[in-house]
Structure 1
C-alpha cells in the first residue's frame, strides 16, 4: 500500500534483448503495477478475475495459482469466493493429477450427488452401449451438441470418444466454443493446437481432443464471441453459417455448460440454433449429473428427472454421467514410468517446492516453442535432481519450472519403451 507522498519506482531488465523478452517484461510490469494499491479503499476493489486475466497467458501454472491464492482481498464476499474457486480449479485442471484439484472437485460435487443406481433400467445405457446409442440417435439429425464444464478434463476424453463414433455417421465438422474463431484456420492448416488456439485448449486432454479431430479429418470451427449483446444468438448464428456454406454438413458442437440447453424457458444457444436452422439437434448434457454410479459412462433420458425435485436442468435430450478416469496412464497407450536424471538442472535453494513438468510433442515444440500445447503436465518434487514421470512412446520436449518461474530443465527426451535418452 502506498501512503500519501510516497512513490515506488520499478525497474525491470531483460537478460536477453529480444522482442519476446521485452513484451514479457512489459506484461510483468503491468501486472506488478496492477497489484499495487494506493490505499485500503483501492485494495477492496481488486477482483480475482483481474489477477487471473493478468496471468492467464503465463505458461507456468504454479505461478498463476500462487497469484490467485494470494490476491490481497479483504473479506471477499460469496460471489468472489466462488470466482476464486472456479479460477483455481480451472488452472489446476491444466496440471493433471493434482491433489488440490481433486480435493476441490470432491468439495464441489459433495452437495450435488444424487442416487442414480436405482434408475439403471430400460432406456438407460452404460459405457460402450451408451456410445453406440449416441451414434444411433445422431442419424436422426445433422447437429449433435455436447457440453463441458471448463475445469473437467474428463469431459474432453468423452468428447474424443463421441468424435470417433460420429465420424462413421458422416459428421465432418467440429464446432468448438473454446476455439478462437480467428485462429481456427491456423489449426486446420497445421493440424495441432497452439496456446493461441484458445485458453482452455492448452489443457492436455483438450489438446488431444483437437489433435484427434484433425486425425479423423474433421474441419474445426470456432464460433464464440464473448463481447456481444446476446452471446447465445451470436453463437447460434455463427454455427448456422457452417450449414449455410455446406447444406449437407453434419456438425458436432462442443459447447460450454448451459449453452447446450434447448428449452424455451432458458433460451440458450441450442434453442436459437434449433429455431434458426429448423433442425432439432441431439443435445447431451454431461455437466449436470453427479451420481453414485461407478460406471464410466451412463446415458439417461432427461425425461427421467423432470419429476424429481432436485433442481436438475432437463432442457436437453439426454443427461450423461461421466466418471471417466483423468489419469494419463489410463488414457495413453504404451505408457511407462521413466526415471529422468536432470543433467541440465540449475542449482536452486529450496528443493521442497513443487515444480511443473510439461511434456510436448517434439515436432510441435521445435516449431512453436512456448506457444505449443503440452500432452502432459505434472507436479513433481525432484529428489537428488531426479524425477519420475509417465511417458507414452515417442519423441518429446520437456520443460521443468518451479513456482518462482526458475527453469530447472529443458531438453529433448525420447521414450522408445527402453532406457530414456537425453539429447
Structure 2
C-alpha cells in the first residue's frame, strides 16, 4: 500500500477561512492513494479519487502536492483500517485523514475503552441528507480532534479525522466540525451503483460514461468490464456491440494490440451474418492513388472518402490524399466527427472535446497534417434536434436518420454559398458518402449530389475491403499477397452493377493490404508507426527505460504540454524493456513523456526530427 500525503504548499489558512471552500486539486496525473486512484484530468471526476474497485469516489481539499513519503496526524489509531489520503498543514498542526474500515461496533468499542479526554458523541439529525452515523469530539496529545463516521454500506465506513493544535488561535472546534461535514458531503458518492442502473440501456450508459470520463477511455474500459463480465454475456448482438466499443476505446489510447484482439472476435461473429462477395474473376483494373486522382476531370469539386471507425489505418490512408488534393486546389476538409464549433471559424489544434473519433492518434495526425498543409477544417455533423411532428413522420423509422443526412449535406453545401469555386475534401463515416438512395434511406452523399447538381462529386469507398475475415475472393487475396507497400490500390470494377451491392453509389473502391488477425504482434494493427512511409517519414528512437510503463508523444505546440487538453499522437502502453523505433511526420516537433506504473511523469524529452540534436 502506498501512503500519500497531500501537503499544502500555498497559504492554506487564507483559503480555508473564506465562506466558500475551494475544492481544487493541482495537476492532472493519476496517483495511487491507498486503494484509491486520483482520476485523470479532463472529466467531471478530475478532482476525485476513485476506489480501485470502482465503487465510489471522493474529493479532498486545497491546493495540494502529492508526497509519497509522509502522512499527517492519524488521530486515534484503529487496527484493520485502510488509509486513503491526508491533507495537512504542518505549521498549524492541522490534518484531515480519511480511512476506510468495516466494523462500526469495533470502532465504537475502541473509542469508549480509551477513556479519551473530553469525549463527546454528537448524534446526526436523521432528517438531514446524510449517511453519517455520528460525530466524535475528543482531545489527544494536545490536539483537538473531530471524527465523522460515514456509512457507505452495511460493512463499509469512512472515518474522517480532523485535528488541530489546541493552542491554535485560528482553527477551533466549530471549524473542525464544519470542515469534516464538507468532506463528508464530497466523500459519499457511489459511482458504480449509479452506472449499474443504466446497465440495460447501453446507449444511455455510454453517454454517461463519456460524460464522466470524457478523455479517459481507460476508465471507460474498466467500468464496462465490470458492468458486463464477458462470461455472463450470452446474447450475440450485445457481445458484438460491446466488442466494437472496446475496439474504439482501445484505439483512442493507442493500444492497437488490444484493438486487434477484440476486432478479431467481432469480425468472427459478424461474418456469420454477411453474404460472401461474388467472385469477379479478373474483370477489374487497379490504379494507385496518384493515378486515380490524376485521371479525374480538372473540374473535380468534391471528393468523399469514408472512414471505418474501428480501423485506424483508414485515417492514415486519408492522409495520403492531402498533398495530391492541395495540388488540385482543394483547401477545405469537411469532417463528420468534429464537434459543433459554434462561434469559431477555424481551429488549428484538435484537442480533447473537439471530436470523438479524432481522439485516436492516427486521426489526430491526419487533421494536424491537413491544417499544416493549408486545409481549413469544417465540422459538418448535424447538431439540430430531430422532431417529427406528423404521424407519418413519427411512423417513419428513417425520418431522423434522413434528417441527419440532410443537415450534414446542407452544412457542406454552405461552403459553396460563401465560395462558389471552392473544392472540398469530405471525410465521412461509413456509408454516409453513398451517392444513391438505399431503399428509404437517403445518405448524405446522395443529398449533396442533389443540392450541388452543377458540381463534380466523386465518392470513394475504402471500408468494404478493409478486412472481412473469411469473406475475400481468391483473386483479391492473390493481389494482396503481391503488395509490399502499406498503401491501398484503387479497385475499378467493370460492370459494377453486377457486383457486390456495397459498391453501388461509389465511383471507386480501395483494396487494402490484408490484416493478419492471427498475428500476436501488437504492431500488426498500426504498421505505419513502425516503418517509414509517405506520411510517417521521420524515425524517432526512444531509448529503453524499465521504469517507464507508458509513453505518450505529443506535437510540441508550446513549451508546456497540457495533458488535460492536448491529445498524444502516439502511445506505447507497456514497460519499455528495449529501445523503440517509431516513425512520425517530419512536419512537427515532438515531446516524449515517460510515465511510471502510477502514471507519474518521470521524464520528458523534446525531439525535432529535422534537427541533428534533440534535448
TM-score (norm. length: structure 1): 0.77
Contact 1:356-1:380 at 8 Å conserved across structures: yes
Q: CA deviation at 1:379?
A: 1.9
Determine the C-alpha separation between the residues in 1 that align with 2:457 and 2:195.
Answer: 53
Equivalent position of 2:128 in the other structure: none
- Equivalent of 1:281, from 451, 457, 472? 457
258 and 167 in structure 1: CA distance in 2 versus 1, 3 angstrom threshold: same
Equivalent position of 1:271 in the other structure: 446
Whose RCO is larger (CA < 8 A, sep 6+)? 1
- Equivalent of 1:125, from 286, 290, 296? 286
Aligned-CA RMSD value = 3.8
Determine the C-alpha separation between the residues in 2 that align with 1:252 and 1:176.
Answer: 9
Equivalent position of 2:263 in the other structure: 105
Q: CA deviation at 1:333?
A: 2.4
- Equivalent of 1:329, from 525, 530, 535? 530
Q: CA deviation at 1:49?
A: 6.0
339 and 297 in structure 1: CA distance in 2 versus 1, 3 angstrom threshold: same
Q: CA deviation at 1:268?
A: 0.2
Determine the C-alpha separation between the residues in 2 that align with 1:22 and 1:272.
Answer: 38
Contact 1:299-1:318 at 8 Å conserved across structures: yes
Q: Which has the larger radius of gyration?
A: 2
1:66-86: per-residue Cα shift (whole Å, max 9, x none)? 222222476463332222112
1:371 partner SS: coil
- Equivalent of 1:145, from 275, 299, 304? 304
Q: CA deviation at 1:45?
A: 2.3
143 and 27 in structure 1: CA distance in 2 versus 1, 3 angstrom threshold: farther
Equivalent position of 2:91 in the other structure: none
Contact 2:308-2:430 at 8 Å conserved across structures: yes
Range that drifts further, 372-381 or 52-61: 52-61
Q: CA deviation at 1:26?
A: 7.0
Q: Does 1:400 align with 2:601?
A: no
2:538 partner SS: coil
2:498 partner SS: coil
Contact 2:413-2:451 at 8 Å conserved across structures: yes
Determine the C-alpha separation between the residues in 2 that align with 1:21 and 1:268.
Answer: 34
Equivalent position of 2:410 in the other structure: 237
Equivalent position of 1:215 in the other structure: 372
- Structure number having the greater strand percentage: 2
- Equivalent of 1:414, from 577, 586, 606? 606
Q: Does 1:359 align with 2:553?
A: yes
242 and 45 in structure 1: CA distance in 2 versus 1, 3 angstrom threshold: same
Q: Does 1:314 align with 2:504?
A: yes
Q: CA deviation at 1:263?
A: 0.8
Contact 1:48-1:83 at 8 Å conserved across structures: no
Q: CA deviation at 1:132?
A: 2.4
Determine the C-alpha separation between the residues in 1 that align with 2:539 and 2:590.
Answer: 13
Q: CA deviation at 1:33?
A: 4.0
337 and 397 in structure 1: CA distance in 2 versus 1, 3 angstrom threshold: closer
Determine the C-alpha separation between the residues in 2 that align with 1:38 and 1:272.
Answer: 39
1:110-164: per-residue Cα shift (whole Å, max 9, x none)? 5369679975555x224xx333213432534311111111121111111111121
52 and 387 in structure 1: CA distance in 2 versus 1, 3 angstrom threshold: farther
181 and 52 in structure 1: CA distance in 2 versus 1, 3 angstrom threshold: closer
Equivalent position of 1:370 in the other structure: 564
Determine the C-alpha separation between the residues in 2 that align with 1:194 and 1:37.
Answer: 29
Alignment of 1:27-38 (within 5 A): 33=190, 35-36=192-193
Range that drifts further, 296-305 or 110-119: 110-119
Contact 1:52-1:68 at 8 Å conserved across structures: no
2:557 partner SS: helix
- Structure number having the greater helix percentage: 1
- Equivalent of 2:430, from 257, 266, 273? 257
Determine the C-alpha separation between the residues in 2 that align with 1:286 and 1:38.
Answer: 37
120 and 221 in structure 1: CA distance in 2 versus 1, 3 angstrom threshold: farther
**Unaligned stretches of 5+ residues in structure 1:** 1-12, 346-354
Contact 2:43-2:214 at 8 Å conserved across structures: no
Equivalent position of 2:242 in the other structure: 84
Q: Does 1:54 align with 2:54?
A: no
TM-score (norm. length: structure 2): 0.55
Equivalent position of 2:141 in the other structure: none
Q: CA deviation at 1:375?
A: 1.5
Q: CA deviation at 1:182?
A: 0.8
Contact 1:340-1:388 at 8 Å conserved across structures: yes
